[in-house]
Structure 1
Amino acid sequence: MLAKGSEPWLFTATFITALFAVLSRAMNSSHLNHVAYIAMAMTFFMVLFFRDPERKVEVSDTYMISPADGTVIDIRGRKICIFMFLQNVHVNRAPISGKIREITYKKGGYLPAFCKDSERNERNEFIIHSKYGDVSVMQIAGTIARRIVSYSRVNDNIEQGQRIGMIRLGSRVDVTIPHDFEIIVRKGERVLAGKTIIATIKK
């Protein structure tokens, strides 16, 4: 399955690949043939990047799940920071069920997403009102990723694991954990959106 909104990107990449392939044959040009192979590799990369595999999500109000694929690069108090590498799936999912109370988009710079100063970058914040209080999911753009996409809207009722948006070409997602939960992931741990449990309800 491919991510929502990927069609124009893939169509353009496929068209360019086909164009150079036809031209290289028509003109018998080795240079154009090389360009066609490069375009083909880029098309493959686009398919890899825009993939959006189906994942069976076990919905529960006793734990929170990761909103993004990637690696936990920092835990600051109640905030978990997840860095998404280029090879990761870039579709983001709801860590908890609730209602989207607010979505705030802010323009900004494009510093590396793992830097502390990246909080000045382009970003998009979802405030999900859950039975345990408000949960913030912050999408932060990086040096390559310059397009944050939101699938959900204010007042949408969302289920844990539901797709809420994506960030194109690698970046970071921060999620705040309510005080009713205990954080169980550690810095350096790899996580999967909709699958990895990052916090459990306190007993």
Structure 2
Amino acid sequence: MFIQFHKEGAKIILGATFTATAIIFLADGFISSNWIRMAVQVFTLFMLVMILQFFRNPKRITTINDHHIIAPVDGKVVVIEEVFEPEYFKDKRMMVSIFMSPINVHVTRYAVNGLVKFSKYHPGKYLVAWHPKASEENERTTVVIENRIFGEILYRQIAGALARRIVNYAKEGMQVVQGTDAGFIKFGSRVDLYLPLGTEINVKLNQKAVGGKTIIAIKK
């Protein structure tokens, strides 16, 4: 089966492939010890495979439904709670947080159809993604989409300890389509959704979420 890679990984994949190929060939010529040469080559291939899998972009067909909020990323649901959202709403919201491990797909997808009302990048720290202050102090982007059923939905891409770049395609005034490509977190690890109070949550803690597929919330 053909594996698709996200466009944000093109330069990194090209560089990693060239470097890995060079190391493998140089090891053949310069390392006389068989076991050391083999160890270097196997480790190099392993690192290349890890980079390739990180930037994979599997094709997902989303069943578009304005009565559903879908998972924006792959990962595990680690938080479902009522919180105060201080940046945009400045009131209480229901937050659903999805944590991505290094082996998850890191493509961000739009959780709903609608109009982008707000989009802002914040430079910051690189605390581990599960740190209580990560959503306020780490590098992050905040995006608000106005949907005809749910009203305004906020999602926040949050960098983790390894992340060094968040890619966000949402621009204010754009009309976006549920399930389509909204960006990428390079070696990053968390997305928070802020939903109106009273929203019917359709997932549970520690549940695996599949970006573009899993229904996070429902409004009938």
TM-score by length of 2: 0.86
Runs of at least 5 residues in structure 1 that lack an aligned partner in the other structure: none
CA distance in 2, matches of 1:35, 1:101: 50
SS of residue matched to 1:6 = helix
AA at the equivalent of 1:54: K
SS of residue matched to 1:116 = coil
Show the counterpart of 2:95. Answer: 79
AA at the equivalent of 2:73: A
Shift of 1:180: 6.7
Alignment of 1:1-203 (within 5 A): 1-30=4-33, 31=36, 34-77=39-82, 78-119=94-135, 120-131=137-148, 132-179=150-197, 181-202=199-220
Check conservation: 2:143, 2:170, Cα contact below 8 A: no
SS of residue matched to 2:133 = helix
Runs of at least 5 residues in structure 2 that lack an aligned partner in the other structure: 83-93
Check conservation: 1:74, 1:187, Cα contact below 8 A: yes
Check conservation: 1:103, 1:125, Cα contact below 8 A: yes
Distance 1:130 1:180, change over 3 A: farther
Shift of 1:135: 1.0
SS of residue matched to 2:121 = strand
Cα RMSD after superposing both structures = 1.6
Distance 1:32 1:153, change over 3 A: farther
Q: Paired residues, what number?
A: 202
